Amino acid sequence: MSDELRTDTMGNLIALKRGSGPEPRRRVMLAGHMDEIGLIVTVLEKGFIRFTQVGGFDVRTLMGQEVVVHGRRDLPGVIGCRPPHVVSDEERSKPVPMDEMFIDVGLTQETLAQVVRVGDLITIRRPFIELQNNLVSGKAFDDRAAVVAIAICLDTLQTLHHQWDVYGVATVQEEVGLRGALTSTYGIAPDIGIAIDVGFGKQPGVPESEAIGIDKGPALAFGPNLHPVLFGEIKRVADELEIPVQVEVAPRGTGTDANAMQITREGIPTALLSVPLRNMHTPIETLCTRDLIRTGRLLAHFIATLDDTFMDKLTWTRRTKEEGEGA
């Protein structure tokens, strides 16, 4: 699917698929982050592990989860707390605070201290499961779903003619500050960038105005963080191919890799596609595989339209305005 595959200093995984145009070729960068929200060891307490979060876990979902503690060797564990019989009625009516939870790996304090250290990382242990109607559920779909969409795009491009070089990047540390996108965009110096992330899928409790439909195609974001011409061109390709897309309004920064891509170097024209996702930042994130396939296909067919004249559409100048008025 790619001509080169490498890992940069930051840990981003970068796949390059070369275009057919004459060198030096224009570059389009696709970014989807592969890091996941997780936990980190803070205290070893009488054989139990206290922890805090890395990223933005929904703390309400942590109780009773299976985990893996990544110490000097991986240790399976479970998250526990005080039994309900010894807490007050008021406490039982509220979510358990994270500072009252602990992880039990079944070791004594002495043995635990030999294997686990403060600062070791902890991940949720959760199987991938298939639901009905092409829905699947599991952990870290935010945002490894995007990495799958990029892979689908690169695979589809094998059957299409494309002039530009394509950089598919699985970025790191998005959940703690978009760091991988910052460094990889700087290193690649793309002409345009497209971030792929997830958006709030429709489910009980999510306001209709903030949700996007499951199995309705990806959402194409529109807002000041994103280039309006890129939005229009991607939407045009989707309409021509009858790939369903939704429109997501982003009146401020998007909180995705698109934020970092847009303001790297002298500025990168940027777009954002979001895969609808239920139960975001929990161990049971849920999406429709058809939305993933649509996202990958749309990216590939848009890339196939990029030619030597495309950048002229993106740069507004006084001359451009005058020529438009003259026409």
**CATH classification at residue 284:** 3.40.630.10
Q: Which domain holds residue 296?
A: 4-36+140-313
CA separation for the pair 303, 317 (Å, rounded): 25
Average pLDDT over residues 122-126: 97
pLDDT of 318 above 60: no
pLDDT more than 70, % of the chain = 96
- Looking at this protein, which amino acid is placed at residue 34? M
> How many CA atoms are closer than 13 Å to the CA of 48, on its beta-carbon side?
15
Query: pLDDT tens digit string along 36-67?
Result: 999 999 999 999 999 999 998 899 999 999 99
Domain for residue 251, yes or no? yes
Please confirm, yes or no, whether 210 is among the known catalytic residues.
Answer: no
Domain for residue 326, yes or no? no
In angstroms and rounded to an integer, the radius of gyration of the C-alpha atoms of the chain is 22
In this structure, the strands spanning 135-138 and 192-200 are unpaired
Average pLDDT over residues 266-270: 95
pLDDT of 319 above 80: no
In this structure, the strands spanning 48-54 and 38-45 are antiparallel
Domain for residue 172, yes or no? yes
Residues 287 and 231 both lie in one domain: yes
Cβ distance 40 to 52 under 8 Å? yes
Residues 42 and 24 both lie in one domain: no
Residues 172 and 84 both lie in one domain: no
Query: pLDDT tens digit string along 186-243?
Result: 999 999 999 999 999 999 999 988 899 999 999 999 999 999 999 999 999 999 999 9
Catalytic residue selected from 174, 175, 248, 285 = 174
Domain for residue 45, yes or no? yes
Residues 58 and 193 both lie in one domain: no
Domain for residue 98, yes or no? yes
Task: Identify the domain boundary among 70, 96, 124.
Answer: 124
Cβ distance 184 to 12 under 8 Å? yes
Average pLDDT over residues 145-150: 98
Residue in 31, 36, 28 with CA at minimum distance from that of residue 12: 31
- In eight-state DSSP terms, residue 319 is H
Residues 299 and 160 both lie in one domain: yes
Domain for residue 320, yes or no? no
Residues 111 and 240 both lie in one domain: no
Residues 78 and 177 both lie in one domain: no
Residues 283 and 267 both lie in one domain: yes
Please report which confidence band the pLDDT of residue 317 belongs to, taking 50, 70 and 90 as the band edges. Answer: low
Tell me the pLDDT of the chain averaged across its residues.
Answer: 94
Q: What is the pLDDT of residue 192?
A: 98
Q: What is the torsional sign of CA 314, 315, 317, 323?
A: negative
pLDDT of 3 above 50: yes
Q: What is the torsional sign of CA 314, 319, 324, 327?
A: negative
Please report which confidence band the pLDDT of residue 315 belongs to, taking 50, 70 and 90 as the band edges. Answer: confident
Task: Identify the domain boundary among 90, 124, 158.
Answer: 124
Residues 216 and 261 both lie in one domain: yes
**CATH classification at residue 108:** 2.40.30.40
Residues 303 and 235 both lie in one domain: yes
Residues 162 and 192 both lie in one domain: yes
Query: Domain tally for the chain?
Result: 2
Domain for residue 120, yes or no? yes
Residue in 230, 223, 325, 211 with CA at minimum distance from that of residue 279: 211
Residues 93 and 161 both lie in one domain: no
CA separation for the pair 236, 216 (Å, rounded): 17
Task: Identify the domain boundary among 124, 150, 174.
Answer: 124
